[in-house]
Amino acid sequence: MLPALVASLAALGHTVTGIEAHSPTLLTLHAGRVRVTYAERLLKEPAVDLPFLSSLLDNSKQHWTLFKAAEVASSLFNAENSPWLRWLLKSSVGVVSDITGPLLSAYSRAGWRHRMLGNLSSASEAYNRLHIRLGGGHAFVKEAQQTWPEGNDELPFVFGYGNHRAGTDRHGFGAMVVAWRPFGKEQTDKLKEQTDK
């Protein structure tokens, strides 16, 4: 993950000024006033895990969550009355996820806005190429099939379970959801402009 985090900061115009390795699975990148913390953790018990995750935020006023769920964690965030989902929506100002993240309707119910980027059939094809079974009954896919814009352009990069061996047709790069709390019109327009890039 480290190269992806450093590249993301550079793309946003930030220079990494320091790295703190708290443990083999927990590190923080410093870039001026911006701080990016990466934690690898198997989520099991909300009463233990959610206070740990909150402690990473250190009373941060604004933070985005990059959410790579995979099937097991996806079921935690999409379960009825999920404490994981409540924590995510309460603690984040925005979320970036692949197609195993929170349901689109969860963002709508919370009054959040969201954008669907990439091609949903491309994401399904990527799953097939990687021999990952994600049947049509998967809650996210089932819901997304009803609302995802048809003919969305491919992502210009591989994301989530996208397949970097997609070939010359560049099909199979995955799909992405960007969701955020409502801001003023100027901030929303700026975010839309950034996601268009």
pLDDT, tens digit, 9 for 90 and up, residues 132-159: 665 445 677 778 888 888 878 888 887 8
Closest CA to 185 of 110, 113, 97, 115: 113
Asked if residue 12 is part of any domain, the answer here is no
Asked if residue 11 is part of any domain, the answer here is no
What's the CA gap between 49 and 84, in Å, rounded? Answer: 9
What's the CA gap between 173 and 21, in Å, rounded? Answer: 31
Asked if residue 181 is part of any domain, the answer here is yes
What pLDDT sits at residue 136?
44
Asked if residue 125 is part of any domain, the answer here is yes
Of 14-18, 60-64, 120-124, 168-172, the one with minimum mean pLDDT is 168-172
Closest CA to 113 of 89, 135, 79, 145: 89
CB 22 within 8 A of CB 28: yes
Number of structural domains (the chain) is: 1
Asked if residue 146 is part of any domain, the answer here is yes
What average pLDDT does the segment 126-137 reach? 64
Asked if residue 26 is part of any domain, the answer here is no
Q: Which residues contact 54 (CB under 8 A, 6 or more apart)?
A: 87, 91
Domain that holds residue 160: 59-196
What's the CA gap between 108 and 173, in Å, rounded? Answer: 26
Helix (H) or strand (E) holding 100: none
What pLDDT sits at residue 135?
47
Predicted TM-score of the model (pTM): 0.76
Q: Is the pLDDT of residue 3 over 80?
A: yes
Q: What's the pLDDT tens digit per position in 78-112?
A: 888 999 999 999 989 999 988 778 888 999 999 99
